[in-house]
Amino acid sequence: MTISFPRGIGTKLLLIVLPGMLVGTVAMFLAFERIDERGRMAALQLRLDNFAITLAAALVKPMWEFDDTTVERLFAATADVPELLEARLVYADETVLAIARGHRADPGFVTTLHKSMDLVQKSPTGDVTVGRLEVAFHDGLVQEEIHSQRAGGLLVLVGSFLLLGGATLIAVRRIVAQPLSRLRDSLYRNASTLTREPLVWQARDELGEVVGAYNQLLAEIDQHNRDIHHLAYHDPLTNLPNRQLLEDRLGHAIAVAERHQRQIAVLFADIDNFKVVNDTLGHKQGDRLLNTVAERIAATVRGMDTVARWGGDEFVLVLETISSPGEAASVAEKLIEAVGVPVALNTTLIRIGVSIGISLYPQDGRDVTTLIKNADMALFEAKGRGRNTFHFFDQAMNNRALRRLDIAVALRHAIAQDQLELYYQPKVDTRSGAIVGAEALVRWRRPGEGIIPPGDFIPQAEESDLIVAVGEWVMRRACAQVLSWRQQGFGDIPVAVNLSPRHFQRERDIDRIIALVEEAGIPPSLIEIEVTESTVMRDPDLAIALLWRLRDHGFGIAIDDFGSGYSNLSYLRRLPIRTLKIDRAFVADIDQGKDGAEIVRAIIAMANALGLGLVAEGVETEAQLRFLRDADCAVAQGYYFSRPLPVAEFEPLLRPSEPPVFAARPILARPLAALT
Ligand SMILES: Nc1nc2c(ncn2[C@@H]2O[C@H](COP(=O)(O)O[C@H]3[C@@H](O)[C@H](n4cnc5c(=O)[nH]c(N)nc54)O[C@@H]3COP(=O)(O)O)[C@@H](O)[C@H]2O)c(=O)[nH]1
């Protein structure tokens, strides 16, 4: 058997209060009745006393005078007294003179009251007791009155109980049950609809306080929800919308543009060389830079446009409702101008650039993913075209991207299928014209396509660990070549090998390079590792430690493309460099009347002062060579001497000759075309 209890608090309260009230009321009623009964009985006793006294007084004289007629008359009259049960007149000798009984046959009484009085005649000789009057009253009438009154009282009791119960019911409902129901309904409503509607409440009682606390809780939940929503859809650093929110807004913008036949522009912006700033000045300054750029970008566009942080140093803008592609171009120009204003970081004024790719709805894509992907592709193009510029997406770009993807996939098999080849470009003594070394440069002979230059596949390889495998392959082949030249009697020809920045992100990759050279059985001093400045900037401490490890094993270290990046001299001082390779852009400027000559002179002076070896890259003309030789640059490399050559074409250059192989070149000044 299951007992079910009432669930409502109002009902529970009533179940507690009403029986109490009932018991209380009944107890009070009984107490009143008892008091009333006592009062009535006291009154009855009084009447009995008065009756007995009066009758006794009336009877004394006739009794004294033996006036039986009067005694009889007086006594008979007593029978009419309604409360009388019995009256008895007794002589002094206890002989009963008269008995009078009340009219009621069945008085229905509960109690009888008795009064006995001596009948005393005063005489000059003293008081003489002539007899005794004994009177008994019944309480039948009193009981009748009490009964009839009890019925009325009960009626009043039930009535007032019902009245009080009803009033309590209404009060409990109004004060407790209804407010609680409202609170409950509000809770359910707010929970199911996820709204936070506060409850309007007037009362200042405890429930009012509960509702006040409830409303406050709702407000706090609301605030927390807003915070969570903000965090979920905004970038915590810049407070700009994040990727998720951008995609939502772009999706919405596309839907609106579709309905109203409008154009949208998506601009994918990336800060140029942000990583270098981050690595050299630290992440705190990098964050400051990102915030400054974010503020500047946001200030450049209209309020209705969306600026989001896509991640890292990338921002995406959605320009809703543009009238023509030219409008997107002018926004891009404004962005480049705004971002280009120098920023003070760590007391240093930094000027940064931004590259931007633009895709347009509907011509470049009709959905969020395509528009963003194509803007990103256009950004890649803008970066490739010298940075700090913008570029619109076009279909050819898509084809190029597909080509890059194809190359990245096919390159994975190129090593295993022995499709890579190593070319060698001579390094020449600027005074004697003798070959003093070579740079190993990789080529990919792809079946059906011919030679693919490294510029077309090294960047793809650098996006993954594939470049580490390529680097190891190049190193193994270069070591074998050095050994082979030794064995063929060409002597020790030092070979420079390019290692990409990824190689300096894990110790084990450098340890494999060291092991590989040791296994090859050639002195590591015959291998010069060429790294760019950006290699060191990524994780300076690790890169510097690994370069030292190489140096300690006897490898030569050369800084490639020196001067082209963010040359940080404080890092350079910590590097175990043997050689600086002057970037070919400066060499190209030597005979162009630009600053190149002065820069090259400064680099040469610095290298000589620090006791570093020098190689000038990209020497293409006699004038450049003459300048370099006169400026004291010991070694040069470039098309003026030779393009990178397959080993079969390079080896003849190594054969002993007198004068040295390139000795006549500056003097003969043979046309470049004839040399290549
Ligand atoms: N991580 C690796 N990178 C490598 C490897 N092999 C090459 N590369 C890098 O690819 C880039 C392009 O190389 P490549 O097409 O071989 O071009 C080299 C020379 O051909 C070119 N060069 C040389 N002289 C001249 C010149 O007179 N004019 C002119 N316009 N170009 C010239 O320069 C490239 C060599 O440059 P560098 O390495 O900076 O000395 C290039 O970045 C290579 O580094 C590899 O195995 N691993």
Compute, in angstroms, the gap from residue 184 CA to the centroid of ligand 1.
76
> Is residue 415 domain-resident?
no
Q: Indicate whether 79 belongs to any domain.
A: yes
Q: How far is CA 599 from the centre of its chain?
A: 51
Distance 192 CA to ligand 1 centre (A): 66
| CA proximity to 329, closest of 315, 319, 339 | 319
Q: DSSP string spanning 456-505?
A: HHHHHHHTSTHHHHHHHHHHHHHHHHHHHHHHTT-----EEEE--GGGGS
Nearest CA to ligand 1 atom 19: 644
- Average pLDDT of the segment spanning 422-450: 95
pLDDT-derived band at 672, boundaries 50, 70, 90: very low
Looking at the fold, whether 243 and 222 belong to one and the same domain comes out as no
> What's the confidence (pLDDT) of residue 107?
56
Q: What is residue 26's predicted lDDT score, i.e. its pLDDT?
A: 84
Q: Which of 421, 482, 472 is nearest to 450 (CA)?
A: 421
Our count of domains for the chain comes to: 4
Nearest CA to ligand 1 atom 21: 618
Give me the pLDDT at residue 6, please. 58
- Residues 368 and 439 grouped into a single domain: no
Please tell me the predicted confidence (pLDDT) of residue 428.
Answer: 96
- For atom 41 of ligand 1, which residue has the closest CA? 455
Cα separation, 582 vs 598, in Å, equals: 12
Alpha-carbon separation of residue 285 from 59, 239, 364, 565 (angstroms): 131, 17, 37, 19
Instruction: Pick the residue whose CA is nearest to atom 42 on ligand 1.
Output: 455
Query: What's the pLDDT at 105?
Result: 55
Tell me, in angstroms, the distance from the centre of ligand 1 to residue 442's CA.
Answer: 9
Mean pLDDT within 322-335: 94
Q: Give the pLDDT confidence of 214-273 residue by residue, as tens digits.
A: 888 888 988 888 899 999 999 999 999 999 999 999 999 999 999 999 999 999 999 998
DSSP output for 400-443: HHHHHHHHHHHHHHHTTTT-EEEEEEEEEETTT--EEEEEEEEE
Q: Quick check: 261 and 323 in contact, CB under 8 A? A: no
CATH of the domain at 617: 3.20.20.450
Confidence of residue 7 (pLDDT cuts 50, 70, 90): low
Over pLDDT 70: what percentage of the chain?
95
Same domain, 247 and 227: no
Q: Give me ligand 1 centre to Cα 499, in Å.
A: 12
Give the CA distances from residue 318 to residues 21, 270, 290, 301, 324, in Å, rounded to whole numbers and listed in that order: 74, 15, 19, 9, 14
Among 110, 143, 161, give the residue marking a domain's end. 161
Pair 471, 479: CB distance under 8 Å: no
Rounded distance between C-alpha atoms, residue 292 and residue 318, angstroms: 19
| Rounded to 5°, angle at Cα 110 from 109 and 113 | 85
Report the pLDDT value the prediction gives residue 516, as an integer from 0 to 100. Answer: 97
pLDDT (0 to 100) of residue 676: 33
Task: Specify the ligand 1 atom closest to the Cα of 560.
Answer: 39
Q: What is the pLDDT of residue 49?
A: 92
Within 13 Å and on the Cβ side, how many CA atoms surround 294? 22
**Domain end residue (candidates: 183, 215, 232):** 232
CATH number of the domain enclosing 285: 3.30.70.270
292 near 343, Cβ under 8 Å? yes
**Ligand 1 centroid to residue 470 C-alpha, Å:** 15
Residues 626-640: pLDDT tens digits? 999 999 999 999 999
- In whole angstroms, what is the distance from residue 585 CA to residue 582 CA? 8
Same domain, 120 and 47: yes
Nearby residues of 211 by Cβ (< 8 Å), 6 or more positions away? 179, 183, 199, 201
Are residues 499 and 373 part of one domain?
A: no
Using pLDDT thresholds of 50, 70 and 90, give the confidence band for residue 156. confident
- Name the closest-CA residue to atom 44, ligand 1: 498
Q: What is the CATH number of the domain that holds 78?
A: 3.30.450
**pLDDT of res. 524:** 97
Residue nearest to atom 47 of ligand 1 (CA): 498
Q: Establish whether the linkage from the previous residue to 660 is cis, with ω within 30° of 0.
A: no
Residues of the chain above pLDDT 90, percent: 55
**CA–CA distance, 41 with 333 (Å, rounded to integer):** 116
More confident residue, 630 or 276: 630
Asked, for residue 657, whether it belongs to a domain, the answer is yes
Q: 440 CA distance to ligand 1 centroid (A)?
A: 9
Amino acid at 474: V
- Protein residue with its CA nearest to atom 9 in ligand 1: 454
Three-state DSSP class for 453? coil
Using the predicted structure, report yes or no on whether residue 14 has a pLDDT greater than 90.
Answer: no
C-alpha 132/C-alpha 533 separation (Å) is: 146
pTM over 0.80: no
Pairing outcome for strands 579-582 and 613-616: parallel
Q: What is the pLDDT of residue 565?
A: 66
**Protein residue whose Cα sits closest to atom 24 of ligand 1:** 638
Contact between 310 and 316 (Cβ < 8 Å): yes
The pLDDT value recorded for residue 280 is 81
Contact predicate 137/44, CB 8 Å: yes
* Most confident listed range (79-93, 486-500, 535-549): 486-500
Residue 218 and residue 247 in one domain: no
CA-471 nearest atom, ligand 1: 47
What tokens appear for 165 in the block?
């119960």
Tell me: pLDDT of 664 over 70: no
Q: What atom in ligand 1 is closest to the CA of residue 583?
A: 39
Residue-number span of the structural domain to which 223 is assigned = 196-232
Question: What are the tens digits of pLDDT across the range 524-534?
Answer: 999 999 999 88
Name the domain boundary from 107, 137, 161.
Answer: 161
CA of 623 to the centre of ligand 1 (A): 22
For residue 637, give the ligand 1 atom closest to its CA.
24
Q: Is residue 184 part of a domain?
A: no
Confidence at residue 640, expressed as pLDDT on a 0 to 100 scale: 94
Q: Which long-range contacts (CB under 8 A, 24 or more apart) does 64-71 make?
A: 64/121, 64/128, 64/130, 71/97, 71/98
- Cα 363 versus chain centre, distance: 36
Confidence of residue 542 (pLDDT cuts 50, 70, 90): very high
- Copy the structure tokens of residue 503: 């190689």
454 Cα to the center of ligand 1, angstroms: 8
Kindly state whether residues 566 and 666 are assigned to the same domain: yes
* Confidence category of residue 673, pLDDT binned at 50, 70, 90: very low
Question: Ligand 1 pocket test: which of 419, 441, 535 has the largest number of ligand atoms within 8 Å of its C-beta?
Answer: 441
More confident residue, 64 or 10: 64
Are residues 151 and 222 part of one domain?
no
Q: Is position 432 within any domain?
A: yes
Longest dimension (CA), the chain: 196
Q: In angstroms, what is the span from residue 662 Cα to ligand 1's centroid? A: 21
Same domain, 301 and 227: no
Confidence label for 670 from pLDDT (cuts 50, 70 and 90): very low
Atom of ligand 1 nearest to the CA of 425: 23
- Between the CA of 444 and the centroid of ligand 1 the distance, in Å, is 14
Ligand 1 centroid to Cα of residue 667, in Å, is 27
User: What is the atom index within ligand 1 of the atom nearest the CA of 499?
Assistant: 1
- Do 386 and 311 have their domain in common? yes
Interface ipTM: 0.95
Does some domain include residue 437? yes
Q: Please report whether residue 571 resides in a domain.
A: yes
How confident is the model at residue 175, as a pLDDT? 81
φ, ψ for residue 63, nearest 5 deg: -65, -40
Q: Which of 497, 498, 562, 621 maximizes ligand 1 atoms within 8 Å of its Cβ, making it the mutation to test the pocket?
A: 498
Q: Could you report the per-residue pLDDT of 604-625, keeping only the tens digit for each?
A: 999 998 899 999 999 999 999 9
- Confidence (pLDDT) at 263: 96
Check whether 674 has a pLDDT greater than 50.
no
Q: Would you say residue 330 lies in a domain?
A: yes
Whether residue 668 is predicted with pLDDT greater than 60 in this model: the reply is no
CB distance 380 to 404 below 8 Å: no
CA of 441 from ligand 1 middle (Å) equals 6
Instruction: Give, using CA atoms, the residue closest to atom 33 of ligand 1.
Output: 618
Could you tell me if 473 and 366 lie in one domain?
no
Of all protein residues, the one whose alpha carbon is nearest to atom 30 of ligand 1 is 618
Ligand 1: distance of its center to the CA of 436 in Å? 18
pLDDT range class, residue 398, cuts 50, 70, 90 = confident
Mean pLDDT of the chain: 89
- The model's pLDDT over 356-389, given as tens digits with 9 standing for 90+, comes to 999 999 999 999 999 999 999 999 999 988 889 9
Q: Are 375 and 316 in contact (CB under 8 A)?
A: yes
| Co-location of 121 and 203 in the same domain | no
| Cα 422 to ligand 1 centroid, rounded to whole Å | 12
Residue 451 contacts residue 445 (beta carbons within 8 Å): yes
Protein residues whose CB sits closer than 6 Å to any atom of ligand 1: 425, 439, 441-442, 453-455, 458, 471, 474, 498, 500, 560-561, 584, 617-620, 637-639, 644
Residue 370: what pLDDT?
Answer: 97
- Residue having the nearest C-alpha atom to atom 13 of ligand 1: 454
Q: What is the pLDDT of residue 91?
A: 86
Residue 102's pLDDT band (cuts 50, 70, 90): confident
